[in-house]
Structure 1
Amino acid sequence: MKRIYILVEGQTEESFVDEAIVPFYAQLGIFIQPIIVSTSKSCKGGITSYAKIKPQILKLCKQDRNAWVTTFFDLYALPNDFPMKSSSGYNSLNNCHDKVDFLENALQQDISEQNFLPYIMLHEFEALLFVDPDKFEWWVDDASIIDSLHQIKESYSSPEEINNSPQTAPSKRILGLIPDYKKVVQGTIIAMEIGLDEMRRQCLHFNHWLDRLENLRDL
């Protein structure tokens, strides 16, 4: 059975991988294990510094050469010491897909391990929840909130393109409409109700990553 370790930012991503991705790939003969990045002795999760997570990626790659290592990091709020993020080449790009491809290539080159496959989420996990805003209806009593979520989605050609400022990132938009939104529990449940198939249909960068994971079984 092929083994893949997925380094994730926090409990929400860990829960999503465990509940949605692990069972699907187990059917394909691929064992997947999410691992939350460690950023300090007292706190786990979140990428506050690339210098803190690079050794963790390298350690995973080197300790099990027969396994693959990938990431599930948000483009939103990546630290400035992330490879090439502060470069003029990155800052000259306007298209979010070009930006994420640029950073994934930079990460691939910086890690430089044959069993490493980088993935950076456009723009964060909550973008996947905008695939079907109707799935929020169990968590709100006001239909106008669902309408507002639909309006946000319809303003972009893809949920992945919902942008990444402190005010307009997907999670901030959800919290602005649903202040008591609990991302670990509610986010995972909503994601499961939407399902991987529809996420993959609407979120092409996410789908491309999953395609690459599936193709690893033949290597």
Structure 2
Amino acid sequence: MIRVHIFCEGQTEDTFVREVLRPHFDRLNIFVNPIILRTSKEGKGGVVSYGKVKHQVVQKCKQDSTAFVTTLIDYYALPADFPDFAKTADSIANVKAASAAIQADIGQANFIANLAAHEFEGLLFSAPEAFGEWFDDEDVVTELTKIRGQFATPEHINDGPQTVPSKRILKVCEDYDKVAHGSLIGLDIGLDAIRRECPLFNAWVEQLEALGVAA
């Protein structure tokens, strides 16, 4: 069986991998293993510096050289010490360029760089109606649907401090909690719908699927 270690930014991403991605990849004989990034010897969750991310990724690549290693972390608010890249007005191109810079810097053959555009919550805009199962206020779905309609894809919802997906959700749904709701709403939406709506995310999933074909 092909094994893929996925370094996750936090608990929500960890649960998403276990509940949404794992059943899909199990059918392809690919085992995905989420690992929450460490921030210190005892702390877990969050991306505090590139140095800490790189150390954990490279260590895992070398320790388990017959497996693959990838990441599920947000492009938004990456620490300043992440590898530099040429930014443009195209936000999607920036995410791709940042991922490519990380890929080149890590330099391990069994590593696949991946960044969520622009936050995990962007994936939840794949089907705003899913929020209706968790929140009684009908305006939540209405307003989130309006936001989704303003962008070509959920991944285009931008990365300004007040306009990233999570801030947009909280503005219309103050009871939203990433840990409590994020992965559950993602599970309700389903992997197929997220893949249809989010091209960068889908491309990453396809990369992982191809590992099984190449084996």
> Which interval holds the TM-score relative to the shorter structure?
over 0.9
Q: Which residue of 1 aligns with 2:194?
A: 199
Give the CA deviation at 1:42.
4.2
Q: Which residue of 2 aligns with 1:27?
A: 27
CA deviations 1:162-219 (Å, max 9, x no partner) are 0111211101111111112121231111111110111101100000000000001124
Q: Which residue of 2 aligns with 1:16?
A: 16
Give the CA deviation at 1:41.
3.1
CA deviations 1:59-90 (Å, max 9, x no partner) are 00000110000011101111111111xx5x23
Q: Distance in 2 between matches of 1:188 and 1:163?
A: 21
Equivalent residue pairs, number? 214
Equivalent residue runs for 1:1-219 within 5 Å: 1-84=1-84, 87=85, 89-90=86-87, 93-217=88-212, 218-219=214-215
SS in 2 for 1:131: coil
Give the CA deviation at 1:106.
0.6
Q: Which moved further from structure 2: 37-46 or 54-63?
A: 37-46
SS in 1 for 2:175: coil
Specify the code of the residue in structure 2 equivalent to 1:118. A
Gaps of 5+ in 1: none
Q: Distance in 2 between matches of 1:104 and 1:76?
A: 12
SS in 2 for 1:168: coil
TM-score by length of 1: 0.95
Q: Distance in 2 between matches of 1:116 and 1:141?
A: 43
> Segments of 4+ in structure 1 off by > 3 A?
none
Matched-pair identity in %: 46
Give the CA deviation at 1:48.
1.3
Q: Distance in 1 between matches of 2:141 and 2:34?
A: 31
Over the residues paired in the alignment, what is the CA RMSD in angstroms?
Answer: 1.0
SS in 1 for 2:102: helix
Q: Distance in 2 between matches of 1:172 and 1:42?
A: 29
Gaps of 5+ in 2: none
SS in 1 for 2:45: coil
